[in-house]
Structure 1
């Protein structure tokens, strides 16, 4: 997703500036005369213009870099920005995030009102954007029950199967490795939720999930739609300049409905025919009391299955793409991990790793931890809502503020992670073993408080078994130019709420003839 994040200057400023000024005047006047704590200072931040606030300071892309830079400039782990009367709070440290999102979770567990995503597109059933309340709790409880850490082993066989069968596609079509990764990770998530038959390539369920997550990410990227700041813009006709969101609405609404309903209905049909396979939908529906009105519970099951499918795919795809990127640019890391795997498994092609090998592969685990730290999938995450006015470190946090945890800054903290910009799995090890004294990346990589991703352990498992399986059998290297020299490429990421590596090329080959035989034999099973 490469739509500019937190940018209010992408072609709509001239068309809506008068509305912004009017709205800002009303909101600022109202706040000034209503708050009882106005004498307390707001957190530091860039200097604000009258009425417009920081609208000209908002970065068009990679906003987490600007947020971290401002934190250093003002020597503060909490900063404040104002856009047309709306307050943005950014937390640049784990300490601040824990205090607000964990200790004071009652005040920071809700979400801002996503006018485009929820009100216009109809994605108001997503727990990631749903306000804190009974509907959110119903879906979150089912999500937690089904993806509880004690249930992890139930999903490992599907992870192993999909990833092992992925290997032959990688070596036969290395130029399409990113599509292969998306299909593999999407297939794992789909199997957990629905367990419907999937095509080997270009499966319509997987394609629809990619389109759906793209629509969600675009709509939740702050600044992507001016209507989020100026709500009256929602009433503009489709032909009006700046109303491009109106022209895309019919397709996005149709996509939302299809994604939510179609796979669920297909599973229900298979249950009636006796051909459905065990999954979230079948397990939960079979537990309903047939003698009671279960309409509400059925909707919760339908929504939760769709959330597992969508959420399980996109964040893990980001991590697996980062894995290939880092192996390409840090070949010595790849070599060291493969040496460890060869000591445990035998020479390439002897056997494939499984989860029982994890205790004997600390360096591979360190590689996975470093991927989560170095290339976080959601650098700023989705905003939390300050339900009531609050005070932190002597600074006032106004009621209704959108509060972001800058995951990127937290996982680049030089005090916790020396030389943080360098990809270095060694930082997680001490005397050849995992060092428990190093702050684990999951403190920030999967969100905070009651909004933390409940399936994070499943995502980490998928990334670990993928990394171990690929490293055991395949060598990732730089492609060669026409003169036979390695083709150099920059390390680049796309901006957006969900951060993926920019497209890059790599050479993917079996580590040995014996490894290729093993790869092809697994594909035929």
Structure 2
């Protein structure tokens, strides 16, 4: 072993010892698994679905708050809505900060995303800008385009039903890409959507709890990439390229099109026009770029998770699908697709959406809170009626609880309004257009999904199959007409650029 390699090992061993010793402070801690010297509970973490283990520990130790130690870094796990509201809501000034996230921020380049930033002036600046463009009132002007995008994607479910998750990714990416940058992606193999997909795959992998020791021993980030055991640095470098491509390429495309006077109106183009009069223009453009990248990364991933869960639920619970379609037929009829104007008259569809978000939350680490038996009776069952009154109207009290899926107080997801809107409309439109079912095998037996999920920052159903049967011949024509209108829109866009 070389002298430099030996020195690195000695340095790391000392760092582990120092961090471990620092953690042994004399104060009362919540209960939790004992762990081992130096490494704490690192080896106690499961390889997947860690949220289930956290919930089990909560029962095992008789506490909604669990203490873990990851190589000297204290970690508190909260497993109830009551305590989460108390700490993150009422005491948000204390608990609104973020961990350092060495792998994600410092090695993979995600420090631009204010979701991973500490609670500081830069975070406040970007969140303020984001909220201005994506608050509940601001997104109303995007409803027409969202409706067009959702209707235009329907024919793909008929033509290639086995690729439905790809269709959902294209839909989610199309909405946020057009709203944020004014870019209409290609129908297939769009480079911007590919860049986002590559970046988000890396992010999901890197944020698995305990995935990288460098998050608990930051000094590891300084070891050379060629050093044995430093594969995480080589992987981070690849992921960083994807992250920068996702953030920079669509922003650069908008700036280029603005210089030729051929850009469609978008959030970025409008903000860049305003920035021309700002004194510190370069810094303002950087803030716009980072805010837009945050919107793009968040909107392109979470919506897909929710809609994947929706389709899984419809296959597993056909009785819910029939009840939802009965409401649609009564309110909308059979000769058109839904719009946002129908939302107030479709409370059961809204209840289905809320149950989708609660039943299998997008961010799985919030599962215990959204499956809290003191709040949600029989939490593992898929039951949209829990969000309705006896009269069939939306229950305001129960509806507020599902907001937990978007986080708390100052760290609540600022993109939740456009996310909820696009998920609601897609659910209503798919149920209006199709009967969703499980496929059958050669013996006529249905091939039912397992209902299992992947692990990561956002979770998805493991791959499964379903069929999409247009509910009538008239609906087939409506779907075809929507696809034709989208083709005309694309030709118009390309003619202007």
**TM-score normalised over the length of structure 2:** 0.92
Give 1:129 shift.
0.8
Distance of 2:169 and 2:152 partners within structure 1: 14
Whether 2:451 is the aligned partner of 1:491: answer: yes
Specify which of 379, 401, 412 is matched with residue 452 of structure 1. 412
Distance of 1:291 and 1:111 partners within structure 2: 30
Which runs of structure 2 are paired with 1:439-518 in the superposition (5 Å)?
439-518=399-478
Q: Which secondary structure state, in structure 1, belongs to the residue aligned with residue 301 of structure 2?
A: helix
Q: Aligned pair count?
A: 477
Instruction: Report the equivalent of 1:91.
Output: 78
Specify which of 108, 125, 134 is matched with residue 121 of structure 1. 108
Q: Which secondary structure state, in structure 2, belongs to the residue aligned with residue 87 of structure 1?
A: strand
Whether 2:367 is the aligned partner of 1:419: answer: no
Which runs of structure 2 are paired with 1:26-45 in the superposition (5 Å)?
26-32=18-24, 38=26, 40-45=27-32
- Asked whether the 8 Å contact 2:79–2:369 carries over to 1, the reply is yes
Distance of 1:238 and 1:424 partners within structure 2: 50
Q: For the structure 1 residues 247 and 522, does the alpha-carbon distance in structure 2 shift closer, same or farther, using more than 3 Å as the test?
A: same
Give 1:466 shift.
0.2
Give 1:238 shift.
3.2
Give 1:484 shift.
1.7
Specify which of 366, 369, 377 is matched with residue 410 of structure 1. 369
Whether 2:305 is the aligned partner of 1:326: answer: no
Q: Larger RCO: Structure 1 or Structure 2 (Cα < 8 Å, ≥ 6 residues apart)?
A: 1
Distance of 1:90 and 1:510 partners within structure 2: 45
Q: Which secondary structure state, in structure 1, belongs to the residue aligned with residue 67 of structure 2?
A: strand
Q: Higher mean Cα deviation, 118-127 or 431-440?
A: 431-440
Specify which of 354, 359, 368 is matched with residue 344 of structure 2. 359
Q: Residues 447-476 of structure 1: CA distance to partner in whole angstroms, max 9, x if unpaired?
A: 122111111121111110000000001111
Q: For the structure 1 residues 25 and 250, does the alpha-carbon distance in structure 2 shift closer, same or farther, using more than 3 Å as the test?
A: closer
Give 1:31 shift.
4.5
Which runs of structure 2 are paired with 1:430-445 in the superposition (5 Å)?
430=389, 431-445=391-405
- Asked whether the 8 Å contact 2:158–2:468 carries over to 1, the reply is yes
Distance of 2:142 and 2:408 partners within structure 1: 24
- Asked whether the 8 Å contact 1:23–1:85 carries over to 2, the reply is no
Give 1:56 shift.
2.7
Specify which of 71, 76, 83 is matched with residue 58 of structure 2. 71
Distance of 2:205 and 2:138 partners within structure 1: 32
Give 1:442 shift.
3.6
Q: Which secondary structure state, in structure 2, belongs to the residue aligned with residue 50 of structure 1?
A: coil
- Asked whether the 8 Å contact 2:21–2:72 carries over to 1, the reply is no
Give 1:61 shift.
1.3
Give 1:103 shift.
1.7
Instruction: Report the equivalent of 2:130.
Output: 143
**TM-score normalised over the length of structure 1:** 0.87
- Asked whether the 8 Å contact 1:369–1:441 carries over to 2, the reply is no
Give 1:291 shift.
6.6
Q: Residues 98-155 of structure 1: CA distance to partner in whole angstroms, max 9, x if unpaired?
A: 2211222122112111112221222211101111111111111100110111112112
Instruction: Report the equivalent of 1:523.
Output: 483
- Asked whether the 8 Å contact 1:23–1:84 carries over to 2, the reply is no
Q: Which secondary structure state, in structure 1, belongs to the residue aligned with residue 406 of structure 2?
A: coil
Instruction: Report the equivalent of 1:376.
Output: 361
Instruction: Report the equivalent of 1:25.
Output: 17
- Asked whether the 8 Å contact 1:377–1:445 carries over to 2, the reply is yes
Give 1:30 shift.
3.2
Q: Which secondary structure state, in structure 2, belongs to the residue aligned with residue 124 of structure 1?
A: helix
Instruction: Report the equivalent of 1:235.
Output: 222
**RMSD of the alignment, in Å?**
1.9
Instruction: Report the equivalent of 1:222.
Output: 209
Give 1:441 shift.
4.3
Q: Which secondary structure state, in structure 2, belongs to the residue aligned with residue 476 of structure 1?
A: strand
Instruction: Report the equivalent of 1:156.
Output: 143
Q: For the structure 1 residues 416 and 293, does the alpha-carbon distance in structure 2 shift closer, same or farther, using more than 3 Å as the test?
A: closer
- Asked whether the 8 Å contact 1:315–1:377 carries over to 2, the reply is yes
Instruction: Report the equivalent of 1:187.
Output: 174
Q: Which has the higher helix share?
A: 2
Distance of 2:184 and 2:19 partners within structure 1: 53
Q: Higher mean Cα deviation, 223-232 or 182-191?
A: 223-232
Whether 2:282 is the aligned partner of 1:295: answer: yes
Distance of 1:116 and 1:458 partners within structure 2: 29
- Asked whether the 8 Å contact 1:21–1:51 carries over to 2, the reply is no
- Asked whether the 8 Å contact 2:177–2:184 carries over to 1, the reply is no
- Asked whether the 8 Å contact 2:104–2:203 carries over to 1, the reply is yes
Give 1:439 shift.
4.9
Distance of 1:55 and 1:17 partners within structure 2: 20
Distance of 2:483 and 2:285 partners within structure 1: 37
Which structure 1 residue ranges, 5 or more long, are not aligned?
A: 1-15, 381-406
- Asked whether the 8 Å contact 1:364–1:468 carries over to 2, the reply is yes
